[in-house]
Amino acid sequence: MRRALVYLLLTFCLLLLGGGMYLHRFSQNVGPLAKERVIKALSDRFNADVTLQSLQVSLFPQPSVVGEGLAIRHKQWPDQHPLIWIRRFYARTSFLTLANRSNYVSLVRLEGLAIRIPPRGRAALAHSLEANGGVEGAEVGRDTTQFQFLIETIVADGTLLEILPKVEGKEPLQFDIQKLTMRPVGPMRPMAFTAKLINAKPPGLIDTTGSFGPWQKDDPGATPVSGDYNFKNADLSVFSGISGILSSTGKYDGVLQQIDVKGTTDTPTFALTRGGEPVHLTTTFHSIVDGINGDTILDPVDAKFGNSEFICRGGATQQKGPKGKTVSLDARTTHARMEDILLLIVGDKPLLTGDVDFRSKIVIPPGKEDMLDKLGLAGQFRLLEARFTSEKVEQRLRTLSDRARGISKSEEEEGKGVHGNVASDLAGAFKLDKGVTSFSRLSFSVPGALIRLAGNYNLRTGQIDMRGVFRMQATLSDTQSGMKHLLLKPVDPLFKKDGAGFEVPITIAGTRDHPSIEADAFHKHFTIH
C-alpha cells in the first residue's frame, strides 16, 4: 500500500510538472497567436489597418489578456489620426474558449478610448471621395461583415467621441463620456448601452440608455442609434444674457448622420440677466440632429411661460464666420399675454396687460457678446384691448379719449365721459439690432384718437426718438366749452386732414422714465404734459 501511494504521488507530481511545462510553453505561444487573432478580426470588422503595441496573456486564475496601444485606421480614410485608439485594454475569457478555439469574451475593459467618426460617405475609396462626399439621408447602412468575436460586456469609462465635420477647417463635435457600458457586442447585432456624458454647452450631465449598431464599417455615419436620455442641471448662464438651470428628457432614433429627437425641457427660473423677473419656462420640441456636424433643425418648439405660448421653427447651424452655431428661428404666438412678456423683460408690476399677436424672425449669432447686443429680431406685433395697470395713466387716457370724441371738461364733470378703464390697441412693425429697436409702423389708439409713430428705442439706455402724427375724431374747438370753444372755431380748418377733426405732427423724445411729448403747430413746438 505504501509503495502504491508513493508511486501514485510520484506519478501525480510528474503530471503536474509536465502539465506546468506544457502550460508554460502554451502560454508562450498563445500570446502571439492571440495577438494575431485580435488584429485579424479587427482588421476585417472595420476594414482597417490595425496595430497593437503589446499583448500579455495570463492563464491563472482564468484566461485573460492585457493589451496596450491599439490603433485602428480606416484603409481608405486619409487621416493621420486613427478611427479608434485604445491606450490600454483588459479582456477576460474562459478555458473552454481556449480549448475549442471559440471567440467568446465575457468582459472587456477599455482605458483611454478615443473614437473619431469621419463624415458620412467619406469612408469610400480614396479616388471617389470627392464624388461621394455629399451623402445625406437617414437610411440605415448595410454591412454584412461577420464580427469574429462575441463580447458579453464592454466597459469603457472616460471615452472621447469626436465626430469630424464635412467641411474642412470646422471644429469637430466632441462628447466626453464619463461612464459607458455596452452589451453584448457580436455579429450583425445592435449593442445595448448605458452612458453618462458631459454636455459641453450648456454644461450638464446626460444619462442615456439605448442601442447602437450594427457598426457600418464602410459608412460609419449610417450606423443606427436609438434610446432615451435625461439631461440634468444644464447651466444656461454660459450663454451671455440669460440664466437658469435647465433639465430635459426625451427619445431619439435614426442614424448618426440624422437623429430624430423628441423631448421636453423645464427651466423653473429662466431669466434675462439685464431683464426683469425669472419665469418658469417649459418647452416641447421635435428636432433633427446631424450627428456628424451638430447642426440641429427645430420643427417645432412649443415654449410656454405664465399664460403665454410661443411656437418656433428653425434651427441652429454652422454658418460662415465665427466659430459656433447660429440660431435662426421663426417665432409666432396668438396666445400670449403682455404682462408675462413685460415681467420677463422689465420686471416689477407690469405696466400693461392684454392679448398679444406676435410674429418675428429671430437670429442669434455665435459669440461671447451679451444676448442683447447680438440678438436680432424683425417682425410685427399687435396688442388688442390693452389695459394699463396705473390709475394715473388710465385717467390720462380717459381724458384723452373724452377730448378726442368732443367731450369737454365740463361735460366730463357731468358724467358724460368714459367710465372705467379705456381699451387701447397697440400695433407695429419692428426690427431689433444691437440693442436698438426700430419701429417702421407703430400705432396706438383709444376711442376717438390715434397716434402713428416711427423711430427708435434703445433698450439699453431707454432713449426714445420717435416722430409721427396725432389724430382725433373731434375738432380742436370741440374739446373745449364756452368762450374757448368759440375762439377756437376759426382755426379748426387748419387742423382738419383726411377725415380727422384734428391732426398735428408730434415728437416723443427723452427716456423711458422721463419722456417728453411735443406737438408741431404754426411752425412751433408745444410741449404736452
**Digit-coded pLDDT (tens) for 332-352:** 987 888 888 878 877 777 777
In a domain, 193, yes or no: yes
Check if the beta carbon of residue 123 is closer than 8 Å to that of residue 61. no
Candidates 232, 246, 152, 239; CA nearest to 197 is: 232
Number of domains the chain contains: 2
In a domain, 311, yes or no: no
Q: In whole angstroms, how large is the CA radius of gyration of the chain?
A: 37
Confidence of residue 266 (pLDDT cuts 50, 70, 90): very high
For residue 456, the enclosing domain spans: 390-528
In a domain, 259, yes or no: no
Contacts of 67 (CB under 8 A, 6+ apart): 35, 38, 52, 53, 54, 55, 56, 86, 88, 89, 91
For range 475-493, the mean pLDDT: 74
Dihedral angle, C-alpha 110, 113, 116, 120, nearest 10 °: 30
Q: Is 94 helix (H, G, I), strand (E, B) or coil?
A: coil
Task: Choose one of 219, 236, 253: the last residue of a domain.
Answer: 236
For range 265-286, the mean pLDDT: 87
Q: pTM (2 decimals)?
A: 0.69
In a domain, 452, yes or no: yes
What are the beta bridge partners of residue 362?
A: 329, 377
Check if the beta carbon of residue 285 is closer than 8 Å to that of residue 263. yes
For range 469-491, the mean pLDDT: 76
In a domain, 146, yes or no: yes
Percent of the chain topping pLDDT 70: 77
- CA angle at 310 for the pair 305 and 311, rounded to the nearest 5°: 140
For residue 207, pLDDT beyond 90: yes
In a domain, 470, yes or no: yes
For residue 121, pLDDT beyond 50: no
Residue 198: CB atoms within 10 Å: 12
Q: What is the pLDDT of residue 128?
A: 34
In a domain, 148, yes or no: yes
In a domain, 297, yes or no: no
**More confident of the two residues 338 and 318:** 338
Cis peptide before 322 (omega within 30 of 0): no
Highest mean pLDDT: which of 96-110, 195-209, 386-400?
Answer: 195-209
The tens digit of pLDDT for each residue in 422-443 reads 667 888 888 888 888 888 888 8
The rounded distance, in Å, linking the Cα atoms of 395 and 418 is 10
What are the beta bridge partners of residue 176?
A: 160, 198
What is the β-pairing status of strands 308-318 and 296-305? Answer: antiparallel
Task: Choose one of 236, 256, 285: the last residue of a domain.
Answer: 236
The tens digit of pLDDT for each residue in 367-422 reads 777 777 777 888 888 887 777 777 777 777 777 777 777 777 777 666 665 555 66
The rounded distance, in Å, linking the Cα atoms of 215 and 256 is 11
- What is the residue-averaged pLDDT of the chain? 76
For residue 114, pLDDT beyond 80: yes
Check if the beta carbon of residue 313 is closer than 8 Å to that of residue 290. no
Task: Choose one of 181, 203, 236: the last residue of a domain.
Answer: 236
Q: What is the pLDDT of residue 265?
A: 93
In eight-state DSSP terms, residue 495 is H
